[in-house]
Amino acid sequence: RNFGRGSTHLVTMSVGELFQMLKAGSMDFVGQKKSFDLQFYTIWIAGIIGFVYGFIQQRFLYTFYFIFGATLFSTAVCLPSWPIWNRNPVEWREPKEEDKSDKEPSTQKAAKGAKKR
Amino acid sequence: SRARVMHSFWQRLNALFFYTLSVLGFLAFMAAISTYFHQADPKVELKLERILLRKVYGPGHDQAILSLGINADLRSVFNWNVKQLFAYVTAEYETEANVLNQVVVWDAVISEKELAWIRSDFVVNKYSLTDQGYGLLDNNVTLVMNWNIIPATGLLTLSHAFDQVHRFQVPATYS
């Protein structure tokens, strides 16, 4: 199943697959950056607007509400590993054909570790 | 090129939480700074309605029970960085023993701007005006309104209404 390597279409996914993705808890590098940027700007912009509104009303509680609202939004959207944050999965290389008879287990593990980087 | 680290769920949660906390902290600090030019215009009026002077034997000291009239409009002191005001009235006088005696006779905690206009016409003192010795008899006493501003962010400050004090003379005889 192709989960859309950099595709722009919405990919349909079953609930089970969605649950597995959320449970795995990981985003790919592109998604991670995008998610962090969204959270960064959401909280800052809400903070600035909240600061201006709080200053006009002379109540810092309103500033807090804006920041807290943005935080709740970010927690819901940017924190879990939703499919939108997994649209550019890391492309692992295909494992090389190994001659299992004469290689030691430790050498094999080292080789596998090197490939994943 | 820069090494990329893949963050786990907990790392992302940690980043989000402390990021929001730092934005909140920074804006709280900016809010405190924004009140630097805030002008307060308190209007205070203090009156002494009645005084009852007693002589306490034993350790030996004078004690006065005061009935005060307080009209203090402290609403303009409030801004978005003020959490509370602690307003208190002191009775100040001079005796042979001390250059300055300062006794708190009444206080109030004000947490909201709407409640900051103190209009107490005939209120008995919360704490009696008690001298260390017999220094109250036939003495001049000044009533001063003071208030602590307890901010949301920043240093606690103390202000006085020295231009709106009330001076009175304690009777020369005990009640």
Q: What CA–CA distance (Å, rounded) separates B110 from B44?
A: 15
Query: What ipTM describes this predicted complex?
Result: 0.77
DSSP 3-state of A52? helix
Cβ pairs bridging A and B (under 8 Å): 64
A102 pLDDT tier (thresholds 50, 70, 90):
low
CB contact under 8 A, B27 and A79: no
User: In sequence order, what are the beta bridge partners of B89?
Assistant: B106, B145
Any B CB within 8 A of A75 CB: yes
A14 pLDDT tier (thresholds 50, 70, 90):
confident
- What is the domain range of residue A45? 27-79
User: What are the sequence ranges of the domains in chain B?
Assistant: 1-37, 40-169
Q: What CA–CA distance (Å, rounded) separates B128 from B89?
A: 12
Each residue's pLDDT tens digit, A30-86 = 999 999 999 999 999 999 999 999 999 999 999 999 999 999 999 999 999 999 998
> Does A42 reside within a domain?
yes
User: Which of A103-107, B22-26, B86-90 has the lowest average pLDDT?
Assistant: A103-107
Please state the domain count of chain A: 1
- What is the torsion angle, in degrees rounded to the nearest 10, for the CA atoms of residue B126, residue B131, residue B137 and residue B140? -70
pLDDT attached to residue B103: 96
Each residue's pLDDT tens digit, B84-118 = 999 999 999 999 999 999 999 999 999 999 999 99
* Token pair belonging to A89: 């999965």
Alpha helices in chain A (DSSP H): 15-24, 29-57, 60-77, 105-116
> Does A117 reside within a domain?
no
Of A60, A64, A85, A91, which to mutate for an interface test with B (greatest number of B Cβ within 10 Å)? A60
Any A CB within 8 A of B31 CB: yes
Question: CA of B108 to nearest chain A CA: how many angstroms apart?
Answer: 22
B40-169 has which CATH code?
2.60.40
Answer whether residue B54 shows pLDDT above 50.
yes
> Does A38 reside within a domain?
yes
- Tell me which chain A residues have a C-beta less than 8 angstroms from the C-beta of B9: 25-26, 79-81
> Does A44 reside within a domain?
yes
B34 vs A43, A55, A64: nearest CB: A55
